[in-house]
Structure 1
C-alpha cells in the first residue's frame, strides 16, 4: 500500500534501537525524510547510516535527551516543520513504588508525560497551518493493564493519554491526528532484561522464563519492532486521517477485553 507520505518530514524520538527504530525504518520505507534521535551518538550514527543505505531518504541524527528542553530544541532545529512526530522515550526502571522518592517520580513524569506534551505544543499548530500532521505517541499496554513495579511509567503514560484525549480532537478538522500505540510484550532489550531478572528471582532459566511469558500471549510469541513500526507508519499515513484520539494495542491479543 502506498501510504501517501513520501517526501514528508518525520521526527522519531528515541529511535536508535527498539520500537523507535522500527518506526523510523517503516517511515523511511514509506519515503519519509527523517530526523532520528538517541542518547548514544555512535549507535545513533550507525542507525542513520543503515537507513540511508537501505532507503532513498534523508536521515539526520541528533544525539539528545528528549526529556530536556535543550534536547527538544536540538531536534526541532534539525526539523523545524515536521509533518510527522513519533514521541517515544524509555520508561523508568522497574521498582517497588515504596522505593520511589519525589525526585524519581518527577523525572518519570517529565520523561513519559511532560516531554511528549512539550513536543506537541511546539509542532501541532504548524501542522495545522500546513493542513497535514500525524502525531503518534508510543505509550504502553500498562496504561490499560498495570504491571507491578512499572507504576511510575504506567501513571505517567496514562496521564499523557488523558491529557491528549481532549487536545487531539481540537486539531482534527485541520487534518492533524494524535493517536497512541500501546505495545505489549515486544522482543526488545527492555523485555529481555526482564527475563534475566525474573530468572534470578525464580530459579528458572532465562529460556524457561521466556517460553512461559510467550505462552501467556494468544499469539504465542513476542512482537517485533518491525511489525510495530509498520502499524505506526499506517497511523501516520494519508489513509488514517479519520482516526484520532485512539489507543491502539499492539500486543498479540494479551489484553483480555472486548473494549
Structure 2
C-alpha cells in the first residue's frame, strides 16, 4: 500500500531501540527521510546503518530528547521541513508511588509530557504553512488502564493526551493531525524490565512473570514491534488526514472495555 509519504521528512524520537525504531523503520520503508535519535551512540549508529542498507535516507541526532539543544538539533536536521513528528521517550522506572519524591515526579512529567509538547510547538507552524503534518505520540496502554508501578508514566501521558487532543482540533483545518499510539505489552527491553519488576514484587521467577503476563492477553502473545511501526506509518499516511485526536490502543485485546 502506497502511503503517499515519499519525500517526506520524519523525526522519530528515541528511535535506536524498540517501538521508536520500529516506527522509524516503517516510515523509512514508506519513503521518508528519517531523523533518528537516541542516547546510545553505538545503538543509534547500528539502527542508522540497518536502515541505510535498505536504501533509506537517514540522519542521526544523539542525545536526550528532553534537552532543548537536542530538540533544536532534530529540527535543524530536517532542513526546515519536518512533515512528521513521532514523539517517544522512555518512561520513568517502575516504582511504588510512595517512593516518588518531588524531583522524580517533575522529571517524569518533563520527559513524558513537557518534552513532546515542546517538540510539537517547534514543528507545528511549518506543518500548517505547508498544509501537511502528522504528529504521533507514543504513550502507553496504561493511559486507559493504569498499571501499578507505572503511576508517574500514566499520569504524565494522560496529561500529554489531554493537552494535545485540544491542539489537534485547532490545526485539523490545515491537514495537520495529532494522534496517540497506546502500546500494550510488546516484545521490547522495556517489557523485560516490567517482568523483572513483577517477578521481584510477587516472589516468582522472571519466566513465570512473563508467562503470567502473556496469558492475560487474549492474543496469547506479546506484540511484535513491527506491527506497532506499521500502525504508526498508517496514521502518518497522506490518506489519514481525517483521523485526528484519537488514541489507538494496540494490546492484543488485553483492555476489557469497549471505549
TM range (shorter): over 0.9
Displacement of 1:205 in angstroms is 2.6
Tell me the residue number matched to 2:57: 58
> What is the alpha-carbon distance in structure 2 between the residues aligned to residue 70 and residue 197 of structure 1?
33
- Give the drift of 1:154: 0.5
Question: Do 2:8 and 2:31's aligned partners in 1 also have CA atoms closer than 8 Å?
Answer: yes
The equivalent of 2:73 in structure 1 is 74
The number of equivalent residue pairs is 258
Whether contact under 8 Å (2:113, 2:159) holds in the other structure is: yes
Map 1:11-160 to 2 at 5 A: 11-54=11-54, 56-79=55-78, 80-160=80-160
The CA distance in 1 between the partners of 2:95 and 2:118, in whole Å, is: 26
Secondary structure at 2:36 match in 1: strand
Residue 35 (structure 1) shift: 0.4
SS at 2:181 equivalent? strand
- Quote the offset at 1:206 in angstroms: 2.2
Determine whether 1:7 maps to 2:7.
yes
* Alpha-carbon offset, residue 225 of structure 1: 1.0
Aligned residues: CA RMSD: 1.0
SS of 1:49's equivalent in the other structure is helix
The 8 Å contact of residues 64 and 75 in structure 1, kept in 2 or not, is answered as no
Q: Distance in 1 between matches of 2:141 and 2:57?
A: 32
Q: SS in structure 1 opposite 2:123?
A: helix
Paired residue secondary structure (1:173)? helix
Deviation at 1:210, TM superposition (A): 1.3
What is the deviation of 1:213? 0.8
Distance 2:37 2:146 in 1: 28
Aligned partners of 1:180 and 1:245 also within 8 Å: yes
- Between the aligned partners of 1:256 and 1:203, the Cα distance in structure 2 is 27
Partners in 2 of 1:247 and 1:196 — Cα distance?
Answer: 28
Quote the residue 1:180 is aligned against: 180
The aligned counterpart of 2:232 is 232
SS at structure 1 position matched to 2:115: helix
> Counterpart of 2:204?
204
**What is the CA distance between 1:60 and its match in structure 2?**
0.6
Tell me by how many angstroms 1:75 deviates.
1.1
| Conservation of the 8 A alpha-carbon contact between 2:34 and 2:57 | yes
Q: Distance in 2 between matches of 1:59 and 1:189?
A: 24
Unaligned runs of 5+ in 2: none
TM-score (norm 1): 0.97
Contact 1:64 1:74 in 2 (8 A): no
Per the TM alignment, residue 198 of structure 1 is displaced from its structure 2 partner at its CA by 2.4
Give unpaired runs (5+ residues) of structure 1. Answer: none
* TM-score (structure 2 length as normaliser): 0.97
CA distance in 1, matches of 2:184, 2:231: 13
Please state how far the C-alpha of 1:53 moved relative to its aligned partner.
Answer: 0.2
The match for 2:192 is: 192
